Amino acid sequence: MNKQEVKTNNAPAAIGAYSQGIQAGNLVFASGQMPVDPATGEVVSGGIAEQARQAIENMKAVMQAANASLDDVIKTTVFIKNMADFGVINDIYASYFKAPFPARSCVEVARLPKDVLIEIEAIARVE
């Protein structure tokens, strides 16, 4: 199967040995997007609401680079620092994704890169 890198300047650059995304056939695999402002390379200021919005905006940019949209996302995995933030995250998530919502896993983790509060990865299907 052919695979190609998905890359955009509208989302943070990869900070390790990985790609922002990979397209394989009609599937797009987006690496975990953190709440980093792509213009500055810095974590956005504020709390979980601001970080959740930025992480999803970064995901949206990666999808757009693959000629996809958030409507094409079929599965997400959300990594969060504190499960007590789930309600806020869920409300913001629901404002970006439409029913039928993507399948989703949400996992509380001990620590994320750059000590962010959230990271989101996704799989999309494009025609």
> In terms of DSSP H, where are the helices of the chain?
48-65, 86-96
Task: Please list the residues that pair with 77 across neighbouring strands.
Answer: 105, 121
SS3 99: coil
Q: In the annotation, is 119 catalytic?
A: no
Catalytic residue among 49, 70, 88, 106: 106
CA gap 80, 58 in Å, rounded? 16
SS3 84: helix
Cis status of the peptide bond prior to 113, with omega within 30 of 0: no
Catalytic residues, which ones? 106
